[in-house]
Amino acid sequence: MGAAGIVAGLFWTRPVFTRGTPRPPSFQDYTLPIIIGYDAVTLREKVDLRAAGLRLDELGELRSLSALNEKIALLRLTGRLDEAWDTANTALRQARFTGSREELAASRIRRAQVQQFQGKLDEAAAELTHCVLESETHEWAGVAAFARENRGKVYFEQGDLEAALADFTAAVFLREKAGASSEHLESALIAVAVVESFIAEQRQTP
């Protein structure tokens, strides 16, 4: 069975988030409720574009770190990559001066996510590797999982399936260690299933 068939049963639907104030910082993607699934071939998020646009309008000119982080994800997922990059750099500067070291590492991961979507895979991998090493050295399980999962996505797009699988598997373990909810485990579990299926198909090919 191909990757799409294996993962189809894992897809899920979330309630759409359209109202409210920015949530406090976390090491997960701020846009979890507007992500409605994952593509079984690319591993990229499927997004409710209308909900994302409404949320961006709500955030407006808010400049708190949590608001900036949410904007980065929303802009990235809606394809506004130049704006996402500028916002990621603003958030990184703010985290450097006002946030903790964990928040700074998480901001670097979000900026690397934008680089991945821009096609700058080598740059994203290098940044994420730094974040993996730092977060695991300091035992920041949540940040380490965030970095591992996103580095796994970069490796996946580079065609290094074994490295991607190692990172996705580590991300599941780290999220469980950090006490993550089943929703926050979902994306890493889907990624593991997809990559394992691709590896199995490669091994079966004469």
pLDDT digits (tens, 9 = 90+) for 48-69: 999 999 999 999 999 999 999 9
Q: How far is CA 105 from CA 66, 93, 168, in A?
A: 14, 12, 19
Q: What is the pTM of this model?
A: 0.84
Average pLDDT in the chain: 85
Token pair 């920041």 in the structure block, residue: 140
86-90, 128-132, 191-195, 200-204: which has the minimum mean pLDDT? 200-204
| pLDDT tens-digit map of 3-47 | 334 333 333 333 333 333 333 334 344 555 788 888 988 999 999
Q: For residue 54, what are the β-bridge partners?
A: none
Burial class (CB in 10 A: 0-12, 13-18, 19+), 19: exposed
